[in-house]
Amino acid sequence: MPRYRLRVFGSVQGVGFRPFVYRLATEMGLKGFVLNDPSGVLMEVEGPKEVLDRFLVRLREEKPPLAHLFGMELEVLPEKGYSSFEIRKSGEEGKKEVFVLPDVATCEECLAEVFDPSNRRYRYPFTNCTNCGPRFSIILRLPYDRRNTTMAAFEMCERCRAEYENPADRRFHAQPNACPECGPWLELWDAAGQKLAERDGALRRAVELLKEGKVLAVKGLGGFHLVCDATNEEAVRLLRERKRRGEKPFAVMFRDLDQLREYAETDPFEEALLLSPESPIVLVRRREGSPLAPSVAPRLKKVGAFLPYTPLHHLLLRDFGGPLVMTSANLSDEPIVKDNGEALERLAGLADYLLVHNRPIANRVDDSVVRAIGGRRIFIRRSRGFAPMPITLPFRLRRRVLAVGGHKKSVVAIAWEDKVVLSQHVGDLDTVKAREFFEEAVNTLKRLYEFEEEVVVCDLHPRYASTAWAERYSREAGKPLIKVQHHFAHALSLMADAGLGEDGALLAATWDGTGYGTDGTVWGGEFLRATYSGFERLARLRPLRLLGGDRAVKEPRRVAFAVCFDLFGEDLSKYPEEVLKSFGPREAELALSVLKRGINSPLASSAGRLFDAAAALLGILSVSSYEGQSGSILEDLYDPSVRDFYPFGFDGFEVDWRPLFEALIGDRSPLEVRVSRFVNALAQVVKTVFDRKWEGERLGLTGGVFQNKPLTERVLELLKGREVLLHQKVPPGDGGLALGQAVFAGLT
Residues at the contact surface with Zn ion, assessed by CB under 5 A: 107, 110, 129, 131-132, 157, 160, 179, 181-182
179 binds, among Fe ion, Zn ion, none (CB under 5 to 8 A by kind): Zn ion
Q: Is residue 352 near Fe ion by the rule CB under 5 A?
A: no
Nearer to Fe ion, 232 or 514 (CB): 514
CB of 409 to Fe ion, least distance (A): 9
Per CB under 5 A, the segment of 159-167, 393-401, 442-450, 730-738 that binds Fe ion is 730-738
Nearer to Fe ion, 522 or 675 (CB): 522
Nearer to Zn ion, 182 or 718 (CB): 182
Tell me the C-alpha distance between 363 and 222, whole Å.
7
CB of 188 to Zn ion, least distance (A): 23
User: How far does CA 123 lie from the centroid of its chain?
Assistant: 30
Q: Of 525, 418, 408, 505, whose CA–CA distance to 725 is shortest?
A: 505
CB of 295 to Zn ion, least distance (A): 36
Tell me the C-alpha distance between 169 and 150, whole Å.
23
Question: If binding means CB under 5 A, how many residues of this protein chain bind Fe ion?
Answer: 3
Nearer to Zn ion, 178 or 730 (CB): 178
Nearer to Fe ion, 354 or 506 (CB): 506
Coil, strand or helix at 597: helix
User: How far does CA 71 lie from the centroid of its chain?
Assistant: 26
Nearer to Zn ion, 107 or 316 (CB): 107
Contact 521, 602 (CB under 8 A): yes
- For residue 137, the 8-state DSSP code is G
The two beta strands, 505-516 and 698-702, are parallel
Contact 404, 420 (CB under 8 A): no
CB of 385 to Zn ion, least distance (A): 15
Contact 712, 701 (CB under 8 A): yes
Per CB under 5 A, the segment of 422-430, 611-619, 692-700, 726-734 that binds Fe ion is 726-734
Nearer to Fe ion, 515 or 556 (CB): 515
Contact 542, 658 (CB under 8 A): yes
Q: Please name the amino acid found at residue 265.
A: E
SS3 content of the chain, % helix, strand, coil (to 5): 35, 25, 40
CB of 68 to Fe ion, least distance (A): 29
What angle is formed at CA 221 by the lines to CA 218 and CA 225, rounded to 5 degrees? Answer: 30
Nearer to Zn ion, 151 or 455 (CB): 151
The two beta strands, 401-403 and 369-373, are unpaired
Tell me the C-alpha distance between 279 and 323, whole Å.
16
- For residue 104, the 8-state DSSP code is B
Per CB under 5 A, the segment of 181-189, 420-428, 727-735, 739-747 that binds Fe ion is 727-735
603 binds, among Zn ion, Fe ion, none (CB under 5 to 8 A by kind): none
Contact 173, 130 (CB under 8 A): yes
Residue whose CB is nearest to Fe ion in the complex, by number: 512
Nearer to Fe ion, 295 or 708 (CB): 708
- For residue 500, the 8-state DSSP code is -
Nearer to Zn ion, 16 or 304 (CB): 16
3-state SS string over 161-191? HHHHHCCCCCCCCCCCCCCCCCCCCEEEEEC
CB of 733 to Fe ion, least distance (A): 6
Q: Is residue 459 near Fe ion by the rule CB under 5 A?
A: no
Dihedral over alpha carbons 259, 262, 267, 272 (to 10 degrees): -10
Nearer to Fe ion, 176 or 740 (CB): 740
182 binds, among Fe ion, Zn ion, none (CB under 5 to 8 A by kind): Zn ion
End-to-end Cα, the chain, rounded Å: 49
- For residue 303, the 8-state DSSP code is E
Q: Is residue 734 near Fe ion by the rule CB under 5 A?
A: yes
CB of 36 to Fe ion, least distance (A): 40
Nearer to Zn ion, 183 or 543 (CB): 183
Instruction: Name the strands in the sheet holding 68-77, side by side, starting at the edge strand that comes first in the sequence.
Output: 68-77, 3-11, 40-46, 31-37, 85-87
The contact pattern for Fe ion, residues 499-538, with x = CB under 5 A and - = no contact, is -------------x--x-----------------------
Contact 345, 182 (CB under 8 A): no
322 binds, among Fe ion, Zn ion, none (CB under 5 to 8 A by kind): none
512 binds, among Zn ion, Fe ion, none (CB under 5 to 8 A by kind): Fe ion
Strand partners, 535: 530
Dihedral over alpha carbons 192, 195, 197, 203 (to 10 degrees): 50
Q: Which residues bind Fe ion (CB under 5 A)?
A: 512, 515, 734
